[in-house]
Structure 1
Amino acid sequence: MAKRALTGTFRLVGSFIPGILLYHTIGRGFPFAGELAAFFVLLFLALLWLAYKKPLARHRRYAGLAGMLAVTAFSFWASFYKNTPETLPVPAQQITHYQITLVKAVALKPNSVSSVGRVEAVRAQGKWYPAQGQVAVFLPHSPKADSLQYGQRLLVQGSLSPPAAPANPFQFDYRRYLALKHIQWQAYLPTGTWLSIGYAPPSYIVALSLKIRKQLENAFGEHIETKREVTIAHALVLGVQDDLDAALRNAYARTGTMHVLAVSGLHVGLLYGVLLFFLKPLRRGKTSKLLIFLLVVGVVWFYAFVTGMSASVLRSVCMFSLVELGLLLRRRASILNTLAVVALALLIYEPNFLYDVGFQLSFLAVAGIVLLQPLFLKFWNPENRAVRLVWELLAISVAAQLATFPLSLYYFHQFPVYFWVANLVAVPLTSVGLYMGVAFMMFFWVPVVNGWIGFLLEKTLWILNEVLLWLEHWPKAVLDGFVVTPGQVAALYLLIFAAVLFLVHKKLSWLALCVLCLAFVSGTELAEAHRQRRTRELVIHSARRSSVVSVVHGREVTFLADSAFFAQPQLFSYQVQPYWWAKGVRQDIPFATDFPETAFKQPLPFYETLEGNRVVVWQGKRLLWLRKLPRNLERPVTLDAVVLQHNLWFDLPRLQKAFSVRTLVLDQTNSRRYVARKVQELRAAGYRVHVLEEDGAWQIRL
């Protein structure tokens, strides 16, 4: 019976997921999603009636296939319905004001205040129109902005604009990220462009939970002295990572322990475990079992509310709630079956959860622990209790890492080598820290007690941080630069699956499948390496207030940047490095300022004129970075492109007299006002104008 229930549940999930994938790959413009779903539902009902009237095996098979297709069509329609964008009642450029209500927690990040607003009305040509949709808002820090909270209603002066496409090759697609969260617009609200006009939270329960979380954040700050440990306490116990230091975040990521900072199934499981430990002896009569069920489910759901209701927390809370319900009804179900039921329920509620990285990794980690950890324990089950405890912790860590390994390579392009050592330390210390954090949440209002708990929590988190910072500096602590395709991800999962079955059943057919998967991954890597060795590209990157150039020759790069770029080190990780990795570049960054001369195998001819202009000659192409117009030229200089910099003021006749060029590039050392003025003038004169901030990076490929 259990096996049949498991099969049926996974058939539903296996039929539901393809509909979501179909919509996001080829079905966005399909106009008949509802009609298609209705057709397959009616077909299923007709075949089900036929199978009931004439109970033949083929009729049952046809009805089952039609049912699976109906589920797929339904998920396709659900994705279509959920992702249908809202339209404004008037053109966006005519909007002068709009009203929004903040529907997400307000995040106080190091450089800005951010939230998500639900658009309620827009004003154009002196009239107000009702509107719908969501906008991601960012505000500079100020006492007024920092005091904003969920449910605040704002009157904003300005217009709504869609998020920009990725500005550089292989850069993170923030526009798609927002679209998957049903956010259509993005707005930066300088001080003086908005006004708070009321408070009307969409959910008073969520408002209350966020208010409680804010009080707890302040309480942690009052009783933990060091800022570093306060930020870790906020992340570990409350799931708030807004003020997490970049260096510390990097240390957790490079040691494979970032999961302890994102409130997830691990945290809910630890809380559930300690509740069971104390309440299990009280499970005697029906009344006590019902009270324990209500208490356990109430506590874990309250913890989920306080920590922000992320997808991984929702999955864990739903799963543990179903387990508790089974205990109450004296029914035991497979954990995998429960996991599948929860996944199906969450995907019905929000199909886009399938593309949430935390959702994917969370489900895979739990499935890996359930399936693989018992196999590891079968191979070796030491008699010594202390050794067995360490081995069980190590088996859990390896099982979770193995199950998430291909997706981690795909999303994060790195692999932490010492994850098994780090997790042996991090998981026990995280458990102790979480229990202390929960105890602090319960007694933060009690004098003396709150001080002692805060002191012990601070010391625990200090040890955790110091150990991970130490491990981060071990030799080869992280291997990065991996770029894998979806096909390679599928092949790696098939390889893991076949390898496990070979170890269990000892059949050569599974070993042969492993070899085929390895051959596919190796073959595609060799083909990509051959293509990369033939690469010849020059890219002028779009980087804020900077001038940045990558010249790729095979798997080597010449990197030219000005001092403004190196003053913003985070720009390289987000806007340049993904392109390098995609092109197979693994060399160290040649950090030197202001267009340095290079010493690579493929030197880049580079010249600087008396006026401070810079000329680059590459593969027969001549490019000029222009800061000042030259004087006394006998004839126009022929160039392939000119990059205008630093708000260069000129008149067109002088430019045309100095250079014979058709393509002009305006980089981000120019102000927006200058760009807006010059673009119109240059295009009217017949030039091809490329604005890096608006049009993205400019490339030459050979």
Structure 2
Amino acid sequence: MKRWAPYPFVRISLSFIAGILVYLYTGREFGYSLELLAFFIALYLVLYLFSRRAKTVGANTLTGIAGLLCFMAGGMWATDMRTAAHQPLHLGNLSGVPAYYVGVVNDYVVQKPGYQSTVLQVAQVQINGQWQAAEGKVQLSVPHDSEREYELSYGDRLLVKGAPIPVAPPANPNQFDYRAFLANKQVHHRNFLQAHQFQKLGSDPANPVLYFSIYLRRQLDALLKESINERREYGISSALILGVKDELDNSIRDAYAQTGTMHVLAVSGLHVGLIYGFFAFILAGLKRTARQRVVYTVIILSILWLYAFVTGLSPSILRAAFMFSLMTMAMASRRQYNIYNTLAAAAFTLLLYNPYYLLEVGFQLSFLALLGIVYLQPRFYNLLVFDNWLLDKGWALFTASLAAQLATFPLGLYYFHQFPVYFWLANLVVVPAATFVLGSGGIALFFSWVPLLGSLLFKVHFGLTWAMNEFNLFINQLPQAVINGIDISVSQAWLLYTLLLLFILFFAFKQLRYFALATGVVALLMVQEMAEISVQQNQRSLVVYSLRNATALSFLQGQQATVVSNTALTPENYTFNIQPYLWHKGVQQAAQLTLNGAPHSGISHAILPDSNSVLVWQGKRVLVVSKPLKVQPLPNFEVDYVLLTQNVRVKTEELKPFRFKKLILDASNAPWYLQRLRPQLTEAGIAYYDVTEKGALVVEL
């Protein structure tokens, strides 16, 4: 227990996190969290009084354990309180379907191609002609077809016609679960609106501070767009300085992601750390007397929170600003402080405010990266000593990048399925460059009102941003710049972190038992990998995907696959909808062909006289119908699946001569077509599978 004595907030935070995880992963319907919290508080008080009288180590230990159980129960209770779907007035618990609803825009407005997206906090709904109070968040998408920069603004009060619909689950196997992503933000409904479906009733911002913060950020973003003519450089500048990613070019975004420098484009702890480090260095001499330390603290805190205000008070910035504020106040007070306690206190405070932050990738990566830098970087740095100032600073930056990458390595593999090989080289240049880009952009915005000086500063800022982009593109074009297709499970991610922890313990305490345990973890990982490869080598599957306005099938055998589509798939469509399943199955790169293209080995492809297609693979036959049926099947002709695509004109009686096991309707068909065809198929007694309702059809052979 003495070893834990200097880390009270570490114990408290870990217990609180354990309570959150217990609540999330043992069922969110547990309704007795408050009673459980009251029980443990009562138990703690009883044990505390007993320990005061007994005055034994055992009694104190039991009291401490009871106290930690209080925080664990507190984590469960706080999570229950923040779970909006449990509230009786929530949209998911209404007795009827709303015809209208009223709410307030309660989030940033994000620009997408052709539309804008935001979140509406619902206040009232109209059901059966009666208005009633309601709660819940709805993700709204509205068309952006006017000359206005933004169709909606934070605080707009809207009247919406129609009912929001529950967020749909992933349409394809292993696809990113957007429903779970929104649910962690307490958003369970969506609504895609046309211009005539909503009306602004006024402005009623829930948080005036956030309202003015977003307004200021919009003004500064407009100034950047006016001053930087190149779209690529403007997108990087706006993302890096203000956190606005609306105009970020996809190719440059991918380049930053694949070089391991994407973190510089998301305003986060890195940016706050850069600003903090710069001004702490400038004001280092202002800490001699108590009064100077007060001035130093006020200046640093003012700068940090001004930057947080300018960037829209995003959660990632608030996390970092809060943590550095604690560090600054501790140093200024000349009290002894522990960086691990500081990190734990920041995490506890943020999770107490919103326990669902724990499920955000940014929260996990930022705290793990900081832990890596705090613990591992000094140990890596002390391995080599350089007399040259430049080499010393370069080595410090390299070791910081290495420590952060090592601490986040398992999570990076789990979430992003890739590893940037040249992260060390990219971060060695990009992080210092980002410092200059951030500083030059801030100075240029501050002096933008000065006629010649403002223009000159923006040119310098543009040049630095252009050079940083070009360097990233150069790194991305190096051989084997990124290793893609790495698919690990949650258990494997935990095993990798266990392995990392055991190696840290081995080097810290020089005890062979930790190395032996690490060897055991490596053996377990190897056994898992060999078992997975053995299964993958014997797998066969046929998948009909759910792609809007497109037809796509994959034929998989072993670790080889072929994707067949009606037209060439866009990289985004393939990456988002199809690639995750193939990577999960061990397929690094699938062959792609179109229905009108050349046949591929292993797949027999015949085009019928009426321009429809028959695909034969592993004894399975798929009739793809995209044109009206004008041929009659032979008496002994039987297919496994008939796939109706592209709103093909077909009557149910035309399908009856064909012998098939299942009829499939894919997402290339329009909603009106499916609504008309479904009852006809049901009436004719034809069993069908609609991928727009049930998701992709996966047939494991």
Question: How high is the TM-score relative to the length of structure 1?
Answer: 0.95
Per-residue deviation at 1:20?
Answer: 1.2
Query: SS state of the match for residue 244, structure 1?
Result: coil
In the TM superposition, what are the counterparts of 1:431-450 in structure 2 within 5 Å?
A: 431-450=435-454
State the shift of 1:605 in Å: 2.4
Q: In the alignment, is residue 469 of structure 1 matched against residue 473 of structure 2?
A: yes
Give the stretch that moved more between structures: 455-464 or 668-677: 668-677
Distance 1:681 1:80 in 2: 46
CA distance in 1, matches of 2:599, 2:42: 69
Task: State whether structure 2 residue 687 is matched by structure 1 residue 696.
Answer: no
User: How many angstroms apart in 2 are the aligned matches of 1:201 and 1:207?
Assistant: 6
Give 3-state SS (helix, strand or coil) of 2:7's partner.
helix
Partner secondary structure for residue 251 of structure 1:
helix
Please give the secondary structure, in 1, of the residue aligned with 2:650: coil
Residue identity in the other structure for 2:40: F
Show the 5 A alignment for 1:514-525.
Answer: 514-525=518-529
Instruction: Please list the CA deviations of residues 52-76 of structure 1 after superposition, one character each: whole Å capped at 9, or x if unmatched.
Output: 2222222222222222222111111
Q: Does 1:21 align with 2:21?
A: yes
SS at 1:114 equivalent: strand
Q: Return closer, same or farther for 1:630/1:514 CA change in 2, 3 Å cut-off.
A: same
In structure 1, what is the Cα distance between the partners aligned to 2:406 and 2:435?
22
Deviations 1:533-575 (A, max 9, x none): 1111100000110110011101000210111x52x33111110
Partner of 2:113: 110
Q: In the superposition, relative to structure 1, how do residues 147 and 444 fare at CA in structure 2: closer, same or farther (>3 Å)?
A: farther
Asked whether 1:581 is paired with 2:583, we answer yes
Distance 1:632 1:225, change over 3 A: closer
Aligned to 1:644: 644
AA partner of residue 295 (structure 1): I
1:290 pairs with one of 287, 294, 315: 294
Q: State the partner residue of 1:124.
A: 127
How far residue 441 of structure 1 moved from its aligned partner, in angstroms, is 3.2
Contact 1:560 1:596 in 2 (8 A): no
Please say if 1:676 is aligned against 2:675: yes
Distance 1:297 1:2 in 2: 34
On the 8 A contact 2:644/2:666 being kept in 1, the answer is yes
SS across alignment from 2:202: strand
Q: Aligned partners of 2:449 and 2:636: how far apart in 1?
A: 78
The 3 A distance-change label for structure 1 pair 382 and 277 is: closer
Q: Which amino acid aligns with 1:678?
A: L
User: Closer, same or farther in 2 for the Cα pair 1:403/1:222, shift >3 Å?
Assistant: same
1:358 to 362, 379, 392: 362
Output one character per residue of 1:642-691: Cα deviation in whole Å (capped at 9) or x when no partner.
111222233323322x2133522111221101101111221233222211
Measure how far apart 1:276 and its partner are: 1.9
Structure 1 contact 98–156 (Cα < 8 Å) conserved? yes
User: For 2:329 and 2:31, how far apart are their aligned partners in 1?
Assistant: 42
Query: Where do 5+ consecutive residues of structure 1 fail to align?
Result: none
Letter matched to residue 10 of structure 1: V
CA distance in 2, matches of 1:358, 1:306: 20
Cα separation, 1, equivalents of 2:179 and 2:117: 16
Q: Does 1:611 align with 2:610?
A: yes
Which whole-Å deviations, capped at 9, do the CAs of 1:344-379 have from their partners, x for residues lacking one? 111111111111101111001111011111111221
Alignment of 1:339 onto 2:327: no
Question: What's the offset of the Cα at 1:3?
Answer: 6.2
User: Does the 8 Å CA contact 1:6/1:336 hold for their aligned counterparts?
Assistant: no
Partner residue, 1:592: 593
Q: In the aligned structure 2, how far is the partner of 1:607 from the partner of 1:593?
A: 12
* AA of the residue aligned to 1:129: Q
8 Å CA contact 1:113–1:145 kept in 2: the answer is no
Structure 2 letter corresponding to 1:366: L
1:136 equivalent among 129, 136, 139:
139
Mapping for residues 179-258 of structure 1, pairs under 5 Å: 179-258=183-262
Residue correspondences, number: 696
Q: Distance in 1 between matches of 2:390 and 2:296?
A: 32
C-alpha contact (below 8 Å) 1:5/1:337 kept by paired residues: no
Per the alignment, in what secondary structure is the counterpart of residue 639 of structure 1? strand
Find the partner of 2:391 among 380, 383, 387.
387
Does the aligned pair in 2 maintain the 1:92–1:159 contact within 8 Å? no
Counterpart of 1:620?
Answer: 619
Moved more, 142-151 or 15-24: 142-151
Counterpart Cα distance in 1 of 2:327 and 2:386: 30
SS of 2:125 mapped into structure 1: strand
C-alpha distance in structure 2 between counterparts of 1:292 and 1:390, whole Å: 28
Equivalent residue in structure 2 for 1:405, among 391, 405, 409: 409
C-alpha displacement of 1:290: 2.4
**Shift of residue 298, structure 1, vs aligned partner:** 2.0
Superposed CA deviations along residues 413-450 of structure 1, whole A, max 9, x for unmatched, are 00000011111110111111111122123222332222
| Contact preservation (8 Å) 1:139, 1:145 | no
Name 2:557's counterpart in structure 1: 553
Q: Distance in 1 between matches of 2:27 and 2:451?
A: 60
CA–CA distance in structure 1, aligned partners of residues 204 and 243 of structure 2: 25
What is aligned with 1:423? 427
Q: Which stretch shifts more, 360-369 or 488-497?
A: 488-497
Q: How does 1:280-319 map to 2 (within 5 A)?
A: 280-319=284-323
CA contact (8 A) 1:647 1:669 kept: yes
Give the distance between the partners of 2:476 and 2:592, measured in 1 at CA.
22
What is the letter of the counterpart of residue 130 of structure 1?
Answer: A
Structure 2 gap segments, 5+ residues each: none
Q: Where does 1:440-589 land on structure 2 (aligned, <5 Å)?
A: 440-563=444-567, 566=569, 568-587=570-589, 589=590
User: Would the alpha carbon gap of residues 69 and 584 (structure 1) be closer, same or farther in structure 2, given more than 3 Å must change?
Assistant: same
Q: State the TM-score, normalizing by the size of structure 2.
A: 0.95
Q: Deviations over 1:313-359 (max 9, x none)?
A: 22211111111211332213121210011011111111111111011
Given that 1:10 and 1:337 are in contact with CA atoms closer than 8 Å, whether structure 2 keeps it comes out as: yes
User: Are 2:236 and 2:265, in contact at CA under 8 Å, matched by a contact in 1?
Assistant: yes
The answer to whether the Cα contact below 8 Å between 2:562 and 2:592 also exists between their aligned partners in 1 is: no
Contact 1:151 1:199 in 2 (8 A): yes
The structural deviation recorded for 1:13 is 1.5
For 1:686, the equivalent position in structure 2 comes to: 685
Instruction: Give the AA of the match of 1:590.
Output: A
* Amino acid of the structure 1 residue aligned with 2:581: Y
Q: Is the 8 A contact 1:152 1:201 kept in 2?
A: yes
Structure 1 residue 327 corresponds to structure 2 residue 331: yes
- Secondary structure of the equivalent of 1:434? helix
- The answer as to whether partners of 1:410 and 1:483 remain within 8 angstroms in 2 is yes
**Which residue in 1 is equivalent to 2:164?**
160
CA change 1:629–1:599 in 2 (3 A) is closer
Q: Note the 1:266-285 alignment, pairs <5 A.
A: 266-285=270-289
Residues 384-416 of structure 1: CA deviation (Å, up to 9, x unaligned): 222211111111111111111111000000000
Q: Retained in 2: the 8 A contact 1:75–1:351?
A: yes
Q: How does 1:87-102 map to 2 (within 5 A)?
A: 87-88=90-91, 94-102=97-105
Contact 2:663-2:687 at 8 Å conserved across structures: yes
Secondary structure at the counterpart of residue 271 of structure 1: helix
- Report the RMSD for the aligned CA atoms in angstroms: 2.0
